[in-house]
């Protein structure tokens, strides 16, 4: 029994390395890296894809409350209409430290165009290419 436990513990790091949480899917026009959490991707019966996307800013953005370094959003992507609706977003001062600049979750997310310079456009292209 102990041998089995030791074997499982020795394999666990290798399995974790094979399935990272964040998959790089592209960059915005300003050079910000965009990542997708593959485990968060789902599709409803209407074809709307919901996924969590993370952006790491190439350069921190200055604000009166201090620099922001990235963001994360759970959004819905309509490939047919080429639109996106953000369900929840978090903008980070420091994601590793858990320091939040702003968190928002609209009561009724509305679909709109995915502007070409944003994470939404990168994610829409990536998710809809797979359909």
Map out the domains of the chain with their CATH numbers.
Answer: 20-129 (2.40.128.710)
Residues whose CB falls within 8 Å of the CB of residue 70, separated by 6 or more in sequence, listed in order: 54, 55, 56, 57, 91, 92, 95
Of 76, 17, 8, 11, the C-alpha closest to 41 is 76
What Rg value do the Cα atoms of the chain yield, rounded? 17
Question: For residue 113, what pLDDT is reported?
Answer: 93
Name the percent of the chain lying above pLDDT 70: 84
pTM of the model: 0.80
- Mean pLDDT for the chain? 87
pLDDT at 8 over 60: no
pLDDT digits (tens, 9 = 90+) for 96-106: 889 999 999 99
User: Which two tokens mark 18?
Assistant: 């094979």
Q: Over the range 21-30, which residues count as b (16 or more CB within 10 Å of their CB) and which as e?
A: ebeebeebee
Question: For residue 131, what pLDDT is reported?
Answer: 64
């Amino acid at each position: 029994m102990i041998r089995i436990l030791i074997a499982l513990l020795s394999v666990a790091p290798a399995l974790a390395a094979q399935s990272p949480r964040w998959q790089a899917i592209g960059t915005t026009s300003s050079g910000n890296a965009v990542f997708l959490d593959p485990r968060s991707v789902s599709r409803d019966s209407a074809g709307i894809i919901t996924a969590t996307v993370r952006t790491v800013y190439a350069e921190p953005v200055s604000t009166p409350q201090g620099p922001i370094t990235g963001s994360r959003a759970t959004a819905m992507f309509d490939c047919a209409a080429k639109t996106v609706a953000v369900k929840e977003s978090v903008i980070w001062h420091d994601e590793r430290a858990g320091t939040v600049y702003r968190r928002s979750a609209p009561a009724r997310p509305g679909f709109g165009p995915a502007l070409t310079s944003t994470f939404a456009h990168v994610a829409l292209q990536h998710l809809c290419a797979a359909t």
